[in-house]
Amino acid sequence: MSVLGRRIAEDAVGDSPLLVVAVLTGAVFFCVDLMRAMAGTDVELEFVRASSYGSKRESSGEIELSALLPRSLAGRRVLVVEDILDTGHTLARVHEELKLKGAEWVKTAVLLAKPTRVMQPDYVGFDIDNRFVVGYGLDDAGRWRNLPYVGLMENEI
């Protein structure tokens, strides 16, 4: 985590604070640890809720966004933090919305990235196989987020 945080901090040098946008709910755990690893970097924190899973283990393909930043992002540098990049459709939609709000640049950091993704994030903690995982913010219909590790579901699809 510290290596990833330092790399982001080096890339994010600028005159204004870096705006970190955590995608709720799963990215909160990763985002907090990542921001701690960026100690010494001037950052601000906001949240967006994005979902395409509902209570299922597969993305519906329909992305619901709520609580997206209401203010202008003109000239801002934004880092979007997501727990897992599965298909990439949700992250691509959040990225697009932030650019439409005027962000100067938008970078993406994900804890886990699957090979099925349609986009390449700027920062990846770990690449994983196309398996269903829970813990450290990742859930199965709202459960198991609080596990202090990432684990495979025993009865995965």
Catalytic positions are 86
Laid out side by side, the sheet with 64-66 consists of 64-66, 43-51, 18-24, 77-85, 105-113, 123-127
Given the structure tokens 């298909």, which residue do they identify? 87
